[in-house]
């Protein structure tokens, strides 16, 4: 058992040990606490638990020991080496959720009210766009969408829409891999008294730490790189205002009912222990894949922020340890070329999602965005020949070979 006071100097040490507490029965790993409720020694203890005078678990929708380790591990990774304004290690509170969208819902419902607006970049995950377009308006909350890579435009939006309460960032963005400047937008937002939230799913805490730049909240779909094996759906919502997170936010979290399951939390905890090792291999492979695609005659363009030709290269280099494992590329020939390419793949996997050990590719125009009118999706950079790719951990020669034969 590791000493909780041991000063971790490496990310992997933290990812393996952070959040772990000795099990009372001395199990090596935190067990799966598959229980709906927790018991009390007497009625008085129950009173103390419900009143908050005594720490402890009550009901698994509200908290569970298996969740706790996952929550504390993610919070520790997001703040590894990050300090507060007084130079002390930054403290965060995290709530494990049943999905990334549940985490975003908790974020929105706990911070916004009717009449508020959200400012966000135009390239967003489809589920987030759906929430902004259809769900939030029913609660009287509207989204203002702009190209947040243009700081002057972002400030114009803040001036034109004083009702904006939150700036919501997703960087790198899904599926265009566009990056926005977290530090610059956070500084701008704070000048206008706005809440700053960031979806850090594509980067993970190993590659990017938004709290370093002063954001208020971070969300993840833990389904992706944090889990790393495609074995469970999940999300997490993390905040730096501890009083708010333990007060109003906790009440909203309980009321929405989007908590995780002990089984999924167990898989997540053990997946995160190899995050650094996996991300190093993912990123190394991705750089080689991007180099191949960038010179291939069948490829019109490559969206990978590790290429110096990418418009967001400088921003990505500034705020990310490595460019990441995600990319998209445009095939010459449009829709049919995309379909033909997908059908020829032999090693790589045809599917949505991302962040697993195997290489995953999707064709948004015929898959995730098939029902979206062409003109609308093209406004967001989702063209007929666009392929999104999550580069896996297979032998790089095998990945390149499969791509080359599929591109013929």
Q: Which two tokens stand for residue 38?
A: 């927790």
21 in helix, strand or coil? Answer: coil
Calculate the alpha carbon distances from 313 to 4, 41, 326, 339 in Å.
38, 59, 14, 29
Two tokens, residue 16:
């393996």
Cα 341 from Cα 251, distance rounded (Å): 48
> pLDDT by residue for the chain (408 residues), tens digit each?
556 678 899 999 999 999 999 999 999 999 999 999 999 999 999 999 999 999 999 999 999 999 999 999 999 999 999 999 899 999 999 999 999 999 999 999 999 999 999 999 998 998 999 999 999 999 999 999 999 999 999 999 999 999 999 999 999 998 889 999 999 999 999 999 999 999 999 999 999 999 999 999 999 999 999 999 999 999 999 999 999 999 999 999 999 999 999 999 999 999 999 999 999 999 999 999 999 999 999 999 999 999 999 999 999 999 999 999 999 999 999 999 999 999 999 999 999 999 999 999 999 888 877 777 888 888 777 899 999 999 999 999 999 999 999 999
Return the half-sphere exposure (C-beta side, CA atoms, 13 A cut-off) of residue 253: 27
Q: Note the pTM of the prediction, 2 decimals.
A: 0.95
Strand partners, 350: 361
Cα dist from 345 to 60, 271, 407, whole Å: 43, 27, 9
Tokens coding 250: 């906790």
Q: What is the pLDDT of residues 51-89, one digit of tens each?
A: 999 999 999 999 999 999 999 999 999 999 999 989 999
Helix (H) or strand (E) holding 235: strand 235-239
The confidence score (pLDDT) of residue 2 equals: 58
- Which residues lie across from 238 on neighbouring strands? 94, 218
Return the DSSP state at 133. I
Tokens representing residue 3 in the block: 């000493």
d(CA 364, CA 87): 45
CA distance 218 to 79: 11
Q: What gap in Å lies between CA 104 and CA 120, rounded to an integer? A: 13
**How is residue 187 written in tokens?**
């500084």
pLDDT at 372 (0 to 100): 76
396-406 vs 275-294: helix axis angle to the nearest 10?
A: 40
Residue 94, both tokens: 């995290």
Instruction: Show the tokens assigned to 195.
Output: 């809440």
For 169, 191, 369, the CA distances from 324, given in Å and listed in that order, are: 17, 30, 23
Domain ranges of the chain: 11-272, 278-406
Tokens of 90: 């930054």
Q: Is 379 helix (H, G, I), strand (E, B) or coil?
A: helix
**Nearest-CA neighbor of 117 among 194, 190, 208?**
194
SS3 198: strand
Q: What angle do CA 293, 298, 303 make, to 5 degrees?
A: 40
Give the DSSP H/E element, type plus range, for residue 285: helix 275-294
Fold of 11-272: 3.40.640
CA angle 214, 216, 218 (to 5 degrees): 105
Tokens representing residue 45 in the block:
């203890």
Which CATH architecture describes the domain 278-406? Alpha-Beta Complex (3.90)
Compute the distance between CA of residue 388 and CA of residue 367 in angstroms, rounded to an integer: 11
């Amino acid at each position: 058992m590791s000493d909780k006071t041991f000063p971790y100097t490496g990310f992997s040490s933290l990812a393996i040990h952070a959040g772990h507490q000795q099990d009372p029965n001395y199990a090596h790993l935190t067990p799966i606490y598959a229980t709906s409720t927790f018991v009390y020694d007497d009625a008085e203890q129950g009173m103390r638990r419900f009143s908050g005078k005594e720490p402890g678990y009550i009901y698994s929708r509200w908290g569970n020991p298996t969740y706790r380790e996952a929550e504390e591990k993610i919070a520790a990774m997001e703040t590894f080496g990050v300090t507060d304004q007084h130079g002390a290690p930054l403290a965060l509170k995290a709530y494990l959720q049943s999905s990334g969208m549940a985490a975003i819902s908790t974020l929105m419902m706990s911070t916004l009210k009717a009449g508020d607006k959200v400012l966000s970049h135009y390239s967003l995950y489809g589920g987030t766009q759906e929430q902004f377009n259809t769900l939030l308006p029913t609660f009287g909350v509207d989204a203002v969408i702009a190209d947040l890579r243009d700081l002057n435009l972002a400030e114009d939006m803040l001036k034109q829409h004083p009702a904006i309460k939150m700036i919501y960032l997703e960087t790198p963005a899904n599926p265009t891999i566009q990056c926005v400047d977290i530090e610059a937008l956070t500084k701008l937002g704070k000048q206008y008294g706005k809440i700053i939230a960031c979806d850090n799913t594509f980067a993970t805490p190993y590659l990017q730490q938004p709290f370093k730049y002063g954001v208020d909240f971070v969300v993840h779909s833990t389904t992706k790189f944090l889990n790393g094996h495609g074995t469970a759906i999940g999300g997490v919502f993390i905040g730096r205002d501890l009083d708010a997170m333990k007060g109003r936010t906790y009440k909203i979290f309980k009321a929405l009912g989007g908590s995780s399951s002990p089984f999924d939390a167990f898989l997540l905890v053990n997946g995160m222990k190899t995050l650094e090792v996996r991300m190093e291999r993912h990123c190394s492979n991705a750089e080689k894949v991007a180099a191949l695609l960038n010179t291939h005659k069948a490829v019109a363009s490559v969206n990978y922020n590790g290429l110096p030709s990418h418009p967001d290269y400088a921003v990505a280099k500034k705020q990310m340890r490595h460019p990441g494992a995600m990319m998209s590329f445009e095939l010459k020939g449009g829709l049919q070329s995309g379909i033909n390419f997908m059908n020829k793949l032999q090693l790589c996997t045809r599917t949505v999602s991302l962040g697993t050990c195997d290489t995953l590719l999707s064709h948004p125009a015929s898959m995730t965005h098939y029902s979206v009118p062409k003109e609308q999706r093209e406004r967001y950079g989702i063209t007929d020949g666009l392929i999104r790719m999550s580069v896996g951990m297979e032998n790089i020669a095998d990945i390149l070979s499969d791509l080359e034969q599929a591109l013929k």
